[in-house]
Amino acid sequence: MYVFGKVLGFKIKCMDQNLLTMNDMMTLPYVQRMEVLFFKLFLAKPKLVVRSPGRVNIIGEHTDYNDGFVLPASINMYAYVAVDKSRDGKIHLYSSEYKQQFVTDKSNVGCKLNSWTDYVLGIVDQLKKNGHDIGGFNLLLGGNLPIGAGMSSSAAVECAVIFALNELFHLKLEKIDMVKLAQKAEHHFTGVQCGIMDMFASMFGKKGQVIKLDCRSLEYEYVPFDLKGIKIVLFNTNVKHSLAATAYNERRQQCERGVAWVKESFPEVNSLRDVSMDMLQENVATRDALIYQRCKYVVDENLRLLQACEDLENGDVKALGKKMFQTHEGLSKEYEVSCKELDFLVNSVKDNPDVLGARMMGGGFGGCTINLVREEAIPVLAERLKKEYFNALGLTLTVYTGQIENGTEKIIL
Ligand code: GLA
């Protein structure tokens, strides 16, 4: 019944499908399914089940690692983690998505395997590096958050794992410490020098609210997101272009280069957050047109976000939506992190009166667009776009309606 494989000397077991596809199990609420599956795998009830959501970001893209602002929220799609201490002191992992089991020793968690296990062991590695002595554990990972769709499934997994281990081993970590460790794990294991937005949104999300986060001070406030009759709709391109990680790190370096040039004349400047358009004109535009273009987008986007927060407070969805389209334009033409699939989806809704705002979301080069759509228009729009997207690009479009929910939380036991 088991198929065995070997990855870098570790044993990976692929379980028989029967374990997972029983009809009765599929009708159970997700958390109970986790409990049942955990019992089947580890012959005991889990000590606790934690869920951690994916995120959307209304506006403020590629601003987090520039010390700027972001406006994310956690949504109703989750990574689930069920855990308990193991009897043999080893780490036993199982992914219901990949139907793979993995066993390793505590002392063996530092090396990257390019597998889903990295997101779990990356956290263990960070905990160890920060002096937290944790024992062996059994962990089941599941969820309904699409992987690679730009909703930060990796951050959700990392937050769920660290939250669960914090409880299980009484580590007494604050939420913000868990967020910072999760970010470090992502840096170390994926090689993407990401900002803090994804983990922060997953951990700190609050039902019905977006988070206005200052990525420099890490001060934040919740802003009610209550747009009557308007829903957040995500259109998933179902593509993830392979240059994403390299291009992301390259953008980050370009921004740092711009800051260094401004700093020569203004030593007090430490990030693009401190930079004005005049400073950019004088110190960057004269030296390198491309670096100027990248930095200009970020400076503009920060200002746009602050104005967008005022729009939200005034309930002015039209003004907010217009800024989302402007953000897309900047990301596509100046920051150059969009792709033809994302541009197609934004262009297709641009003149549609039922769509108040739309833009690519997250790092770019694939994933989702985020749209503000009149509720009653969603079904027809979704069907039309699915057809147009398939006809134009030969690809399937997936549609999600996002509801803003609480961040990482313990669900049972
Ligand atoms: C990815 C990163 C975030 C952020 C966005 C772009 O999602 O993980 O830190 O930089 O891209 O805004």
CA 198 to ligand 1 centroid distance, Å: 7
pLDDT at residue 189 in the model: 83
pTM across the whole model? 0.93
- 389-410: average pLDDT: 97
pLDDT at residue 107 in the model: 84
- 110-123: average pLDDT: 89
pLDDT at residue 248 in the model: 94
pLDDT at residue 29 in the model: 85
Which atom from ligand 1 is nearest to the alpha carbon of 196? Answer: 9
Quick one: pLDDT band at residue 304, thresholds 50, 70, 90?
very high
- 188-213: average pLDDT: 95
pLDDT at residue 297 in the model: 98
Ligand 1 proximal residues by C-beta, below 6 Å? 61-62, 64-65, 152, 194-195, 197-198, 362-363
**pLDDT for residue 17 is more than 90:** no
Query: What is the overall mean pLDDT for the chain?
Result: 92
Contact 397, 237 (CB under 8 A): yes
Q: 144 is written with which tokens?
A: 């309904």
User: The sheet that has 10-14: what strands, in order across it?
Assistant: 3-7, 10-14, 100-104, 91-95, 137-143, 72-85, 48-57, 409-412
- 60-78: average pLDDT: 98
**pLDDT for residue 148 is more than 90:** no
Burial class for 56, CB neighbours closer than 10 Å (0-12, 13-18, 19+)? buried
Q: Where in the chain is the domain with CATH 3.30.230.10?
A: 42-223
Percent with pLDDT over 90 in the chain? 84
- 222-231: average pLDDT: 93
Write the residue with the smallest CA distance to atom 11 of ligand 1. Answer: 363
CA 248 to ligand 1 centroid distance, Å: 9
- 51-79: average pLDDT: 98
Catalytic one of 64, 118, 125, 198? 198
- 162-168: average pLDDT: 98
- The CATH number of domain 42-223, selected from 3.30.230.10, 3.40.1370.10, 3.40.1030.10, 3.20.20.140: 3.30.230.10
147, 187, 196, 198: residue to mutate for ligand 1 pocket, most atoms within 8 A of CB: 198
Contact 37, 142 (CB under 8 A): yes
Which atom from ligand 1 is nearest to the alpha carbon of 57? Answer: 12
- 393-405: average pLDDT: 97
The candidate with the shortest Cα–Cα distance to 154, out of 111, 113, 202, 112, is 202
Which atom from ligand 1 is nearest to the alpha carbon of 192? Answer: 8
**pLDDT for residue 12 is more than 60:** no
57, 62, 66, 202: residue to mutate for ligand 1 pocket, most atoms within 8 A of CB: 62
Greater pLDDT, 166 or 23: 166
Written as one string, the DSSP assignment of 85-153 is E-SSSSEEEEETTTTEEEEE-GGG-SS--SSTHHHHHHHHHHHHHTT-----EEEEEEE-SPTTSSS-H
The strand pairing partners of 210, in sequence order, are 223
- Between CA 377 and CA 247 the distance in angstroms is 36
Find the radius of gyration of the CA atoms of the chain.
Answer: 22
**pLDDT for residue 160 is more than 90:** yes
The candidate with the shortest Cα–Cα distance to 232, out of 28, 9, 400, is 400
**pLDDT for residue 179 is more than 50:** yes
Active site residue 198: yes
CA 271 to ligand 1 centroid distance, Å: 17
Percent with pLDDT over 70 in the chain? 93
CA 70 to ligand 1 centroid distance, Å: 10
Quick one: pLDDT band at residue 27, thresholds 50, 70, 90?
low
Write the residue with the smallest CA distance to atom 9 of ligand 1. Answer: 195
CA 74 to ligand 1 centroid distance, Å: 14
pLDDT, tens digit (0-9, with 9 covering 90-100), for 257-294 = 999 999 999 999 999 999 999 999 999 999 999 999 99
- 84-96: average pLDDT: 96
- Between CA 357 and CA 347 the distance in angstroms is 11
Quick one: pLDDT band at residue 10, thresholds 50, 70, 90?
very low
What's the distance, CA 98 to chain centroid? 20
pLDDT, tens digit (0-9, with 9 covering 90-100), for 311-323 = 999 999 999 999 9
Write the residue with the smallest CA distance to atom 1 of ligand 1. Answer: 363
CA 217 to ligand 1 centroid distance, Å: 17
**pLDDT for residue 395 is more than 70:** yes
- 149-165: average pLDDT: 96
pLDDT at residue 26 in the model: 61
Quick one: pLDDT band at residue 23, thresholds 50, 70, 90?
low
64, 158, 256, 365: residue to mutate for ligand 1 pocket, most atoms within 8 A of CB: 64
